[in-house]
Amino acid sequence: MKKSLLVLALFISVSSFAQQGNLSGDLMMNVNFFQRDTNIKAADNPLYDNLLSGGEAWLGLRYSGFGFTGTVRFDGFHNSNLQTPTNALTAAGIGMFSLNKEFKKLSITAGHVYDQFGSGIIFRAYEDRGLLIDNALFGLHLKYRLNDKLTIKGFTGQTKNLFERFAPIQKGINAEGDFDIKGKAHITPGIGIVNRTIDQQSMNVLVANINAMDEKNRFVPTYNMNAITVYNTLNAGNFTWYVEAAAKTKEAIIVPNEGLRKYGGNVLYSTLGYAKNKFGINASARRTDHFVMRTSPDQQLLKGMISWQPIIAQIRPQRLIARYTPQSLDISELAGNVNAFITPNDKYTFNLSYTHINTLEGDALYREAFVETEIRSVKKFLFHLGAQYLVYNQSIYQSKVKEEYPDVHAITPFVEVVYKLSKKRSLRCDLQYMSTKQDYGSWAFALLEYNISPNWSFAVSDMYNIKPNKVHVKKANHYPNVFMAYTKDANRFTLQYVKQVDGINCTGGVCRYEPAFSGFKFGVISTF
């Protein structure tokens, strides 16, 4: 508490010079009202049985002036379901603060730092509030621009853990270039190195766990783990090619179905794109072998993450398709995707995509064949049509028993129609149907949305388990959603009544399981 008050007092003192600088900020707030519903399994935890309401908020302030930039953010969680969706989190304090100073070519940042090396395979400190990920690096960050073609940056610090920090220490250095090749091509190469040193308490826990293992599986743990990545982006004519290779030394990691083991790891990731006139094609691939980077091996799920694995599977906005979005795997994955765009004229756009993901051992993880078209040939109408075929390995992606939850095979056609009533008013209808015999069975989804630009938006939708799989669902359930939003200047207010089926929530290849939700949600987003 004393630390939080000290930080606020310091920031207020600095920002008192705001008349000679610039002061800005933002607010994000969510409030949930929990309504018990045993039919959809939104029950039997403190949020629905006792507390009935909760929420979270982030208030950030940013001051820049006299060559300094200061940032501070207050985080508050009161009976929040964001960290563990079945239990309440109550905590509040200074969620992040930083002070940056520019000295000609040198930039110095102290406090909480958000940054990454390359695509983030060996280091990525970032924030995703929807999943309550905030693994900012707390420490010192330097960035020096040697010349117009070469920049070097380095850091030392610890990974943020809500209002505290994980004890292990990280150090890293990164160099990036920016070069033209005879005026015909452009390259931006880079190299990064990261070291993580485990603290004594974490090592004691690790040793105790190793000693409890079968003698044949025991190993000698190490305090230090080192990782290196080399990457480059090439732009030549109509081609863009990004490639990155990363490797790390042996360390203790947790391997599913094996437990604690000592492995090194490596990743090879690449994307290749070509675009010309009315045609474009992109291909991406990634091979991952035991590349787990966390503050210590006892941190699991979304805790203690140092790095981030780029996702190969494309994230779809359709409600039913999004239900089976695969997350990036860091133990064993061989993934590839090809995506083509064709725009023969102003009236039509076509998109075709195929994704193929296996383990390194050859086990099928995910398959997706996807096609969609956008039609603009009818006046005042916009048609968006498409279909997806997928195979989704529930047992691996959701850690379920294979015999009870076999791979999901699903076909999902969808159609979206937008009708422009006037320059400011539009009506949108979205229809989707997922045909599958696995998991909960087949689904139907319908949405009707009315927009009055730039202020109002209204929507009503229903997701219906039209052909339930009686192995996992007792009866067909409706999951309605009534939504309203009001936007004024830089402020947006939302209110909705929601019944949401349990499932996996993913953002950028990072996923977590969320139980069913029933009740009201109120949200505010504001910038000033």
Q: What is the pLDDT of residues 463-476, one digit of tens each?
A: 999 999 988 888 89
Q: Which residue has the tokens 């280091």?
A: 123
Query: Phi, psi at residue 258, to the nearest 5°?
Result: -120, -35
pLDDT of res. 470: 86
CA–CA distance from 482 to each of 49, 313, 421 (Å)?
23, 30, 22
**Is 103's pLDDT higher than 70?**
yes
pLDDT of res. 261: 94
pLDDT of res. 301: 81
Phi/psi region, residue 396 (left: phi>0; alpha: psi -120 to 50; beta: rest), is alpha
- CB-based burial, 443-456: b 16+ in 10 Å, e otherwise: bbbebebebeeeee
The CA distance from 124 to 331, in Å, is 18
**Is 253's pLDDT higher than 70?**
yes
Name the residue among 467, 372, 379 with its Cα closest to residue 415: 372
- CB-based burial, 325-364: b 16+ in 10 Å, e otherwise: bbbbbbbbbbbbbebeeeeeeeeebebbbebbbbbeeeee
Alpha-carbon torsion (304, 310, 312, 315), positive or negative: positive
**Is 184's pLDDT higher than 90?**
no
Cβ atoms within 10 Å of 317's Cβ, excluding its own: 8
pLDDT of res. 130: 86
pLDDT of res. 229: 98
CA–CA distance from 122 to each of 137, 297, 367 (Å)?
13, 16, 27
β-pair type (364-375, 381-392)? antiparallel
pLDDT of res. 196: 97
**Is 200's pLDDT higher than 90?**
yes
The CA distance from 448 to 457, in Å, is 11
Name the residue among 172, 208, 206 with its Cα closest to residue 191: 172
DSSP letter at 321 equals G
Confidence of residue 3 (pLDDT cuts 50, 70, 90): low
The CA distance from 283 to 336, in Å, is 7
**Is 19's pLDDT higher than 80?**
no
pLDDT of res. 377: 92
Q: DSSP H helical segments within 16-84, as ranges?
A: 46
Confidence of residue 111 (pLDDT cuts 50, 70, 90): very high
Cβ atoms within 10 Å of 297's Cβ, excluding its own: 21
Sequence-distant (6+) residues with CB within 8 A of 463 are: 319, 320, 443, 444, 445, 478, 479, 480, 481, 501
Segment 501-508 mean pLDDT? 80
E strands within 200-313? 224-236, 239-255, 259-276, 279-289
pLDDT of res. 2: 55
- CB-based burial, 396-420: b 16+ in 10 Å, e otherwise: bbbeeeeeebebbebebebebbbee
Question: DSSP labels for 328-378?
Answer: P-SSEEEEEEEEEEEEEETTEEEEEEEEEEE-TT--EEEEEEEEEEEE--S
- Average pLDDT value for the chain: 92
Segment 8-18 mean pLDDT? 52
Question: Quick check: 171 and 193 in contact, CB under 8 A?
Answer: no
Query: Phi, psi at residue 83, to the nearest 5°?
Result: -75, -55
Count Cα neighbours of 373 within 13 Å in the Cβ-side half-sphere: 9
Q: Which residue has the tokens 């939104």?
A: 42
Confidence of residue 8 (pLDDT cuts 50, 70, 90): low
Segment 443-448 mean pLDDT? 97
239, two tokens: 């081609």
pLDDT in tens, 304-350: 999 999 999 998 989 999 999 999 999 999 999 999 999 999 999 99
Q: What is the CA radius of gyration of the chain?
A: 25
Segment 406-421 mean pLDDT? 96
pLDDT of res. 411: 98
pLDDT of res. 506: 76
**Is 9's pLDDT higher than 80?**
no
Q: What percent of the chain has pLDDT over 90?
A: 82
pLDDT in tens, 447-460: 999 999 999 999 99
**Is 297's pLDDT higher than 60?**
yes
Question: Quick check: 316 and 324 in contact, CB under 8 A?
Answer: no
**Is 193's pLDDT higher than 70?**
yes
CA–CA distance from 171 to each of 47, 110, 232, 412 (Å)?
40, 14, 22, 46
The CA distance from 282 to 280, in Å, is 7
Question: Quick check: 310 and 328 in contact, CB under 8 A?
Answer: yes
pLDDT of res. 131: 86
Confidence of residue 177 (pLDDT cuts 50, 70, 90): very high
